[in-house]
Structure 1
Amino acid sequence: MAPVSPTAPAASRKWGLVLVLAVLILIADQITKVIAVANLTEGGPSPRILGGLVYFSLIRNPGAAFSIGTGMTWILAIVALAVVVVIIRMASKLRSAMWATSLGLILGGALGNLSDRIFRSPGVMRGHVVDFVSVFGPNAEHFPVFNVADSAITIGGVLLVLTAVLGIEFDGTRPRREHRATVASGADRADG
């Protein structure tokens, strides 16, 4: 029988966090898209909330964010698949809650939009993503329309950058600046 690593439980808990977040984001994304498709029409009236800060405008997006790459839907689907595979491979080894949260949000968002690319019309790997949240005006007048998956990817990406800026490693450790400074100053004294 192979010895059990003392870090195995921490890594499995972090993998569980990635998985739970991804599933919750995927479910929330798909439910909100079903509601949007059932209640909104493309080019139709855009209900507003929060005094006009948020409008609900249905747009089927064949491209990526900001409608970039509208003619390359199948390539975007392949990229999303690659992201999913990479995150799943990474997640099984991580021990940082911030990394796990970031990757869980990104994974859930990627799965949400990938499911649209696979299952929505006009066909497999060419499906258009359902976007329905427009801010500051209806129908993407002032800012691109987005969905729950896009929001999760964005928040996960920002959190990932913050994690890197804070110096949190994949394994949950932080390089000790004080230790490096002490070593460096000790080396300077030895040279002087």
Structure 2
Amino acid sequence: MAKSKKTFSSKPSGSLVPWLGIAALIILIDQLTKITITKLFTYGEEKVITSFFNLVLAYNKGAAFSFLSNESGWQRYFFTAIGIGAALYIVHLLRKHAGQRMFCWALALILGGAVGNVIDRVLYGHVIDFLDFHWRGVGHFPAFNVADSAICIGAALFILDELRRVNK
């Protein structure tokens, strides 16, 4: 009776293609929404949609919550480099862990968002934001975009995946 021989492979159990496809879809949606808003609005123009949500065309030369946006311009290259570096590292992680679904969903969303914002920095020198949530006309949350949303959802999935892994 011959025993079946188990072989171990260093190749991931899943493909990189679906994850890159998700990232590409995020980039496409992000860029299409930004192009649309820049065609329909002028800088600073605001349209009230609901009592808690407006569309507004805003430019962010900094990072999240306009961090470093008032600097002399060096931040554009700094945040572009960080975005490119993060994207390359995320592709490496996706290749290495392609079979881990929630982890890869998180990474694909973060990748799509990071590249979407890098495209803005390279093309325009700033990130285009347009989603403006607020509470009763006061306390506006900083404007953001589809890329930012994907990054936040990806980060939440990443944390959830880590918590799930720790609890096993």
Q: TM-score if structure 1 supplies the norm length?
A: 0.75
- Maintained 8 Å contact 1:54/1:136: yes
Q: CA deviation at 1:154?
A: 0.4
Q: Secondary structure at the match of 1:92?
A: helix
Q: Secondary structure at the match of 1:131?
A: strand
List runs of 5+ in structure 1 lacking aligned partners.
121-126, 169-174, 177-192
Q: Is the counterpart of residue 27 in structure 1 residue 31 in structure 2?
A: no
Letter in 1 for 2:48: R
Aligned to 2:48: 48
- Maintained 8 Å contact 2:109/2:151: yes
Aligned to 1:163: 161
List runs of 5+ in structure 2 lacking aligned partners.
1-6
Provide the C-alpha distance between the structure 2 equivalents of 1:146 and 1:107, rounded to a whole number of angstroms.
Answer: 17
Deviations 1:131-183 (A, max 9, x none): 0000026x995110000000000000011011001117xxxxxx85xxxxxxx
Provide the C-alpha distance between the structure 1 equivalents of 2:13 and 2:48, rounded to a whole number of angstroms.
Answer: 44
RMSD: 2.4
- Maintained 8 Å contact 2:113/2:146: yes
Aligned to 1:142: 140
Number of matched pairs: 157
Once the two structures are aligned, what percentage of the paired residues are identical?
35
Q: CA deviation at 1:62?
A: 0.3
Q: TM-score if structure 2 supplies the norm length?
A: 0.85
Q: Secondary structure at the match of 2:14?
A: helix
Structure 1 runs, 4 residues or longer, greater than 4 Å off: 4-9
Letter in 2 for 1:116: D
